[in-house]
Structure 1
Amino acid sequence: MILHLIYDSFDFKSWIILFFVFLLLADIIKNRNPSNFPPGPWPLPFLGTVFTKMDFRTMNKLAEVYGNIFSLRVGSEKMVVVSGYKMVKEALVTQNDSFVERPNVPLFHKVYKGAGLAMSNGYRWRTHRKFGGLHLRMFGEEKKILELSIQQESVYLCDAFKTEKGPFNPMTILNGAVSNTVACLIFGQRFDYHDEYYQRILRLDNECIQLMGSPRAQLHDAFPGIMKWLPGPHQTIISNYQELAYFLKEKVEQHRQDWDSNNPRDYIDAYLTETEKRKNDTEAGFNIDSLVWCTVDLFEGGTETTTNTLRWALLYMIKYPDIQEKVRAEIDQVIGSRPPTMFDKANMHYINAFIHEVLRKPNLVPLNMARTARKNTTLGGYFIPKGTVMITNLTSVLYDKHEWETPDTFNPGHFLDSEGQF
């Protein structure tokens, strides 16, 4: 009787308000933080902090307000952002085993479907990582393939520079040179810098990396069910990766035609041999599809950041002629006119310091790839539940005022002792 009276007293508008209040309470209850969870900006109902920019400048500002460990919520996904040298080291080194897994990022899952090196987890990831490390070291260090390809590619690179007349953008040539070094390790082939199809593949890969940080691409990961039907950069990323995968799958098929399990020429040959050995170990996931996505990871991971590092190195050489002169003097003293080798590294203290400062100052990877807590853990006194996404703010490490004498200045001296030793 009472319920009937309440029902009759409610008009349509009242029912809408009641329904909204119910959804709001459900959202609050569902997404409430556990005790001693890191603080963070107040999330909007249903959306969370989806309008907070996921860039290093915003993360730095939030760290000033909430501390070196704070939380965000994108949709219903909780994430923790870790800043500062000490806390990042705690997360990535001291407690690496607690944050070793990758989250299920909808956009990457759409592309990789759990395969490859970067986005896989568990036993599959461990076996592939062990295999990859072992065989890349074998081709790189034992067989000297990496050193030889770098020496040869350096000649091609210098010759290409010499043919340029007047000012030019070195991006295409550098990208070709670096990718060729990676390509020699993976599928034993280099490409001419003017190969139009290969340059298109490199441009597609570069476009993917640029688009991944766009707000609309990040919006896809917050609301994949809706965004998958809409146009946007996420569709371009998926399309580009499919074409990149097709290019690399062609290389795999070419290898299968003349593959000799007793004489592996490169990573693909070694992987094909491992696939035969593990054909009964389905959990490890050694198959042709996984091989293609592993080569995508190696090709992309070894090309983009190295190319941009070299571009920055050239810029700093131009900007600081005194540093350029010191680099040149050490090359003349240690190497002379012969090709450099890995054995020279130990005797080139200033160049070692210069390279490390080039890796620090440009801030090439401001925010690290996301990880997931694989178990309940405590970080910096805060409780991090199993499954929580964690992002480390690498910018805060590279510019930590407590660790660097002049963090905002390009200074190779950051990596030299009082005697000039690296």
Structure 2
Amino acid sequence: MPEQSARLGIPLPLGNENVSRQAIREMLQAVDEHAETIPGAQAKADAAEAAAKSYADSAAGSAAGAVASALAAHKADFTQQIPYAMTAGSANAYTASTTPALPSLVAGVAITVKFHAANTGASSLNWNGKGAKSIRNPDGTNVGSGDLSSGGVYTLRYDGTNFILQGKGEVKLTGDATDANVLSGKIYYNTDPKTKRIGTMPNNPSQTATLQITGSAKPTKSIPAGYVPPSTITAELATALANKIIAGNTIGGVAGTATISSLGGLRQVSGVTPSFPESYTVSGLALPFQPRIIIYNRYWQAYMGGASSYGYTDYCIFVALSINTLSCLYRVRGDTGTASYYHSTHYLSNITPDGFTYHGPVGSNVKNGGPLNYTLIE
């Protein structure tokens, strides 16, 4: 048996070797020499267990210490975790204290507080004596009266300048709408966020319409109460009123067809002639009517002997019915300021739509005749 086992050194017989009792004895002896007794094995096991426990206790202690250190660091980091406190101080000027204490007031730190008193206006918070800082809404405005209610819990985060209100403990509504102000069937809330209300305002269709004026009456349209969508109300004249509008004019979309005659009026034309001594013919008028009323006046002078002269003004209104030659008395006013009246004849002839002829005083004493101012009326 030239070979031995690797761990206990027991002789190993060859595969084709006959083993004697002596050889077996030697193998058993080798096993006995190297085998551990039960007490010895137990002692070694106890020693191994004690060593393992000691190592485990040491490792656990180190781990626990690391956890404790990490927890302390976390508790002191008020940007990662948010402490809770009850406020003190007075309304609008609040204070708060936390444990552990706030190490420093830096941007990002946050605190949740329960307010002991409602605010009545702009407010501030002094956390662990780090200085009073304004409490602002998210839009940067100061909180208003009642925004911080007594017993309300709010979270504030410091932005480097102010404490910004992160949320409010309640929803406040300040609406003043009534059911009649809201469309029928539409849901809304007034001052109580827990009470659902439904509008009753009528929802009307379009009121677009065309109002036609046909005479002296004024057309009207009644608009129903409630909501009315964008609508257009148009006023127009009836086309039957065209004969009430002078031709050449358009009113309310209706082109006029009326004439002065059709409306019962009288057409007229006025003019002035050049100065002349005695008579003058007006022509080329081409009037669209036959003149029946003629009003004119003319100033002229007469010498009544010697160096004396008087100024006269002819005034006359002719009414031509079926004749075309008209006469009239004229008024004479002396240039000395003394008024007197003379009966003399001056007249018109050949009165047609094209014109007329004026015949004035005739005589050697007529001098310096002026222009004739005239108006021809239908």
- Tell me which of the two structures has the higher relative contact order, counting C-alpha pairs closer than 8 angstroms and 6 or more residues apart: 1
Higher strand share: 2
TM-score, scaled to structure 2: 0.16
Query: Structure 1 length normalisation: TM-score?
Result: 0.15
